[in-house]
């Protein structure tokens, strides 16, 4: 349960950057998350091999 007494422990995680403002998983979305003071940014990483 979240109470006003421990609100300083809440962390803001920007899922795929600020994906509600900019296209998700883009540098623009990550920069916007930083601008908005997100504590963490979560993003997807894919391993691709060229044939």
- Residues 12-51 pLDDT 10s: 999 998 888 999 999 999 999 999 999 999 988 888 876 5
Helix ranges (DSSP H) in 1-51:
27-35
Q: What are phi and psi of 26, to 5 degrees?
A: -115, 160
pLDDT interval class at 7 (50, 70, 90) = confident
CA 50 to chain centre: 29
At 9, is the pLDDT very low, low, confident or very high (cuts 50, 70, 90)? confident
Q: Is residue 21 part of a domain?
A: yes
> Which among 51, 39, 47, 50 has a CA at the least distance from the CA of 14?
39
| Number of domains the chain contains | 1
| Residue 26 maps to a domain | yes
Q: Is residue 4 part of a domain?
A: no
Task: For residue 40, tell me if it sits in a domain.
Answer: yes
- Using alpha carbons only, give the angle 33, 1, 20 rounded to the nearest 5 degrees: 20
| Residue 34 covered by a domain | yes
Stretch 6-17: mean pLDDT, rounded? 84
The pLDDT value given to residue 1: 56
16 lies in some domain: yes
**Is a pLDDT exceeding 80 seen at residue 5?**
no
Asked, for residue 29, whether it belongs to a domain, the answer is yes
Expressed as residue numbers, the domain containing 21 is 10-51
């Amino acid at each position: 349960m979240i109470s006003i007494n421990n609100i300083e422990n809440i962390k803001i995680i920007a899922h795929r950057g600020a994906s509600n403002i900019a296209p998700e998983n883009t540098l623009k979305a990550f920069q916007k998350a930083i601008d908005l003071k997100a504590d963490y940014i979560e993003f997807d990483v894919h391993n691709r091999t060229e044939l």
